[in-house]
Amino acid sequence: MAEPTIFKRIIDREIPAKIVYEDDFCLAFEDINPRAPVHLILIPKQEIASVDAISPEDVPVVGHLLLAARTIAQQLGLTNGYRLVTNCGKDAGQEVMHLHFHLLAGRPFSWPPG
């Protein structure tokens, strides 16, 4: 059996995290190394390694993540906007092999990203 990822261990409450949102299908918590005044990690409770690993059956839960991101942004009053980012694979810098969106806000972001 592969070692559980850090994010799976957060879902299972084996390691602490500052959880800001949770429902039946997903969890959002503060990034441990924030790159913006608001930097959350939004994950499905279901174990999906990355965008590359999404299967057609996962479409409802992936869509649910986007709606949860919007709900969180509304709850936090992010009326100036926010950025949702998912890194997939080595060149994108994916470190944790559990699908996640970074929700970043609280300052302007440049484009294109580095």
Distance in angstroms (rounded) separating the CA atoms of residues 97 and 12: 16
Q: Which of 1, 79, 95, 111 binds ligand AMP (CB under 6 A)?
A: 95
Which residue type is seen at 38?
Answer: V
CB of 91 to ligand AMP, least distance (A): 12
Per DSSP, the residues of 8-73 read HHHHTTSS---EEEE-SSEEEEE-SS-SSSEEEEEEESS---SGGG--GGGHHHHHHHHHHHHHHH
CB of 7 to ligand AMP, least distance (A): 8
Residue closest to 28 by CA, chosen among 1, 60, 64: 64
Q: Which of 25, 36, 58, 87 binds ligand AMP (CB under 6 A)?
A: 87
Q: Which of 93, 108, 112, 114 binds ligand AMP (CB under 6 A)?
A: 93
To the query of whether residue 102 is one of the catalytic residues in this protein, the response is no
* Residue 29 or 82 with smaller CB distance to ligand AMP: 29
- Residues in contact with ligand AMP by CB under 6 A are 6, 17, 29, 31-33, 41, 87, 93-96
